[in-house]
Structure 1
Amino acid sequence: MGVLTAYFRAPGTEAVRRVLERTEGGSPLGGRQPAFDGVESKGLDPSVVLGQLIAAIRQVPWDVHLVAETTVWPTGPAPGPESPGGEDDPWATGPWVTEIDAATRDALAEVREADIPAVAATWAQAEELYGAAAEDVQPVVEELVGLAGRAREAGDRLYCWACL
């Protein structure tokens, strides 16, 4: 079972929650008219895989704390360790949406077009990308860089929607 992810930009958490309530947690990029500008991906989680991209951009070793994120969906308190979870527990079943920190958005937005091939080549070496070639991941880098640039220009935040 893979994790579906979508990165999108929005003006704020309340706008994201309104869309998720209306779509019952469905992807904000789904349907004929997506609710937000974004990029669909598979398995591109913020902490590890996106973190590997940020490490490649900043030319630093990857660390789980490179990308800071705040959960915005589901709403309400997370269940405690004694909670049984189960199929009715949105914290266990998803979907989940996190707000990505502005420093990550800005790191992506600042990548120059001429640097994208080198960033993609470095990112492709990440173990989590299973030996992908630079030309395989370069379009994703281009899309994320473009999305982050549009988000920064508009004063929007970046979000990640994830679902099993």
Structure 2
Amino acid sequence: MYDYYRAADRQAAMVEPDKGRAGSASPAFDAVDAKGIDPGVILGQLVALIRDEPYDLDLMRTVSLYPPPEGGPKSLEEWEALPEDSPYKEGPCIEELPADVRDSLASVPDTQLADLAERWGQIEEFFGRPDEDYLTTLIVELRDLAERAQAEDQMIYCWTCV
């Protein structure tokens, strides 16, 4: 599960990290439930399509906020020693998306929505053709979230639960 949301700052983004951000799970956040749309690959490919450039893994240089990276395991041995319910293993996780990603999402004109949804729906990570109406709606929701974040000088965050 991936919820994209905006927040005033990193501290506000990490309030109640165990709770989802979209829907009735946490009405305090302006959020989009993006289901299986991860930030690094699937959303990254949408951003590449918006920018009309080749997709690259480095496109989405997110900043991990939760669980705190400074407390995370530094070796395989430390990883294996973590309890099974450790947030480092199980989540949830919170990442901050780069400002240029927010700005790219906010820049999508209505005239490009259908074309973007059609091309995005062709990526292999979807494992088959998703419904283009759903993708169009999702692009609009992400664009509108990004526009509101821009207007308030906020960042977009991704809450992930495995």
State the match for 1:132 in structure 2.
130
Quick one: percent identity of the two aligned structures? 35
Q: Structure 1 length as normaliser, TM-score?
A: 0.89
Equivalent position to 1:92, from 85, 89, 92: 89
Alpha-carbon shift at residue 93 of structure 1 (Å): 0.7
Equivalent position to 2:57, from 44, 59, 64: 64
Is 2:76 the counterpart of 1:78? no
- Name which of structure 1's ranges 75-84 and 107-116 shifts more when overlaid on structure 2: 75-84
Question: Number of aligned pairs?
Answer: 157
- Name which of structure 1's ranges 152-161 and 124-133 shifts more when overlaid on structure 2: 124-133
For residues 45 and 152 of structure 2, what CA distance do their matches in structure 1 show?
Answer: 26
Query: Which one-letter code corresponds to 1:136 in the other structure?
Result: Y
**For residues 139 and 34 of structure 1, do their structure 2 counterparts lie closer, same or farther at Cα, with a shift above 3 Å needed?**
same
Unaligned runs of 5+ in 1: none
Unaligned runs of 5+ in 2: none
Q: Secondary structure at the match of 2:104?
A: helix
For residues 129 and 15 of structure 1, what CA distance do their matches in structure 2 show?
Answer: 32
CA contact (8 A) 1:19 1:28 kept: no
Q: Secondary structure at the match of 2:16?
A: helix
Is 2:143 the counterpart of 1:145? yes
State the match for 1:9 in structure 2.
6
Alpha-carbon shift at residue 30 of structure 1 (Å): 5.0
Say what the alpha-carbon RMSD is for the aligned residues.
1.5
For residues 136 and 14 of structure 1, what CA distance do their matches in structure 2 show?
Answer: 32
Query: Which one-letter code corresponds to 1:142 in the other structure?
Result: V
State the match for 2:107 in structure 1.
110
Query: Which one-letter code corresponds to 2:89 in the other structure?
Result: A
CA contact (8 A) 2:6 2:155 kept: yes
CA contact (8 A) 2:14 2:94 kept: no
For residues 54 and 28 of structure 2, what CA distance do their matches in structure 1 show?
Answer: 35
